[in-house]
Structure 1
């Protein structure tokens, strides 16, 4: 009850203060009200631009620690200007009847992303999924945790949904990456089959000595924090934290965007990147911004660049250059949004997590500056608007 009253006060406080704000500005880290005057509930989300409208899909959070699990589903908001958002409701609902469903209420659904397939005219959603009691040889079968490390897939005929859940998978089962090493194909020791916590403090310095890639070859690779990217040629890619979060994978999707094509590469082994985001400039340069692995606590962002999505990738360091850069301004990357109608205009979207009461989490949106097509830079701003891109 105290939490409910506190959150209601915060929303009321924000609503009163909003009278003093220009509705055509962004206020990073502050509460962001929708058309109903309610704080936007689309955490870990991403945005699809379709027919002159932005579609923001994200995790619907509820009050209390139980809100870290999926109690409702994936929430959608729409906007024509990126400032003002309309609540369109829940577009992918958790299953409340069939307890054997992988998306049964109480599972974990994180970082949903939606892309549009021009060939099939379908809208395809991928998300990180942790079903209840989904056991693998690599986990000990807790009620719900992060051992399953699966990818959920759903689709719809409309960007407004509803989305139909079709499957959950471990990526690329029985397929080696393009850059597989000989030792990966050697027999895996019993030690490798133990469960690890998904962070550098739980794994040896050189995790390739464990051959987690080889361990998961038959059942498919782990996929936790993730993103989607559609290139200029309409090929789509799934980028995700794999191998107990120690290594990033970039995997090409099939032409219908519903499965993995069996073409993928490993990047930054042993570097423990999560929350990966990806973008491409008008000059063909790719950039990744990700975070380290410190659970809900913020840490310094990392960035990298490449001339091809499959690399080689060059590590560039922390793109944040203002005060609190070592915490990525107390946030974690979620998505990089290309602003339509403006050349090389990108918005870095991030979350400020509130694991004790997830519904109170806020969003940090900042302009992403590309410097000489070589580096990306994030400068903190208390308030900003899209005119910052006028000189691009």
Structure 2
């Protein structure tokens, strides 16, 4: 099947007719070959159930010239199923891979969020000479600023070439940190934002983009795979004040971000067109119906939660298979164009749309 439009929430197949498996994803545009690279978590083996021990099956990548039809390029960061000491073992929770290019080192640098059972959350950092790999470890277990790390985003400033990471510090604030010159570590410069919020209102899934010199960050609340209401903020300085602009989703009466979670924003080259790209982790109406109940339960559970600001040291992986009941192999995608009301980016539902 050849696509000529984008249909949010519907199953999106690659050019071989198989469902695209790249979740918690980003889209990288390569000026050299004019291709878009859509990469993310491969969930094809994450089928849920009490016996499931697989969270992911590596980072998968697809390429396209038109943003409608995507060729499967396979696993650019494969899992390591025979090594329980590796953060890439499929039983550990590898989430939201992000890849940026460092002009200084001529390397593609990949950061991956890892959760391993009761072991605190950390980052794995890898790099490669080519976007499609092979990637080699720089840091297997890395805690920037000696902090636990949740969902995150990376960005390279076009003018200064400095790079930044925005990450949730579970479960009480958002941290913005400047990266080192080779983009493989933090430099030590950082700032704290959205302080004092507890789940389900802690800000996670940060997604950075900019337009006309202004910087924006989409974030979601914290309610697992159940969708919740998004927020968007604007700022001029990475480490300055972030001004909240409220919910970007217009007409979303369910307060579930149209039953999705934004994971990246793609600016289409040559156009004033920005696309909010999101995962619909749990297709179907039940997720929207259950989300309010889940949020109320989290409010109660985290009512007396005390943020832990103490330094977090790297810890060894548990070295055992973990249970994962979540069924994410059927997850779909919600791509919607961003519109503007003054300086506020807003998103409206469309059953089908074209780039034109």
Q: Name the TM-score, length of structure 1 as normaliser.
A: 0.74
1:68 Cα deviation (Å)?
8.2
2:279 to 331, 342, 351: 351
1:69 Cα deviation (Å)?
4.4
2:228 to 258, 276, 299: 299
Q: Can you give the 5+ residue segments of structure 1 that lack an aligned partner in the other structure?
A: 1-17, 132-143, 173-219, 388-392
CA contact (8 A) 2:46 2:55 kept: no
Structure index of larger Rg? 1
CA contact (8 A) 1:28 1:383 kept: yes
Task: Report the counterpart of residue 64 of structure 1 in structure 2.
Answer: 47
1:246 Cα deviation (Å)?
1.5
Alignment of 1:1-392 (within 5 A): 23-50=3-30, 51=32, 52-61=34-43, 62-65=45-48, 69-131=54-116, 144-145=117-118, 147-167=119-139, 168-172=141-145, 220-232=146-158, 233-242=160-169, 244-271=170-197, 272-281=202-211, 283-324=212-253, 326-343=255-272, 345-354=273-282, 356-372=326-342, 374-387=343-356
1:68/1:79 CA distance change after superposition, 3 Å:
farther
1:71 Cα deviation (Å)?
4.2
Separation in 1, partners of 2:53, 2:205: 16
Separation in 1, partners of 2:128, 2:28: 14
Which structure is higher in helix share? 1
Separation in 2, partners of 1:325, 1:310: 33
Instruction: Tell me which moved more, 159-168 or 301-310.
Output: 159-168
CA contact (8 A) 1:240 1:250 kept: yes
1:277 Cα deviation (Å)?
0.5
1:118/1:339 CA distance change after superposition, 3 Å:
same
For the residue of structure 1 that corresponds to 2:255, the secondary structure is helix
1:80 Cα deviation (Å)?
1.3
Deviations along 1:149-202, whole A, 9 cap, x unmatched?
101111111111122233121111xxxxxxxxxxxxxxxxxxxxxxxxxxxxxx
CA contact (8 A) 1:111 1:128 kept: yes
Moved over 3 A (4+): 66-71
CA contact (8 A) 2:56 2:94 kept: no
Separation in 1, partners of 2:19, 2:83: 31
The structure whose RCO (Cα within 8 Å, separation 6+) is larger is 2
Provide the aligned length of Structure 1 versus Structure 2.
303
1:325 Cα deviation (Å)?
5.5
Deviations along 1:287-318, whole A, 9 cap, x unmatched?
11111111111111011101122221101110
Deviations along 1:313-348, whole A, 9 cap, x unmatched?
1011100002445110000111111111213x2110
CA contact (8 A) 2:209 2:217 kept: yes
1:385 Cα deviation (Å)?
1.2
1:120 Cα deviation (Å)?
1.3
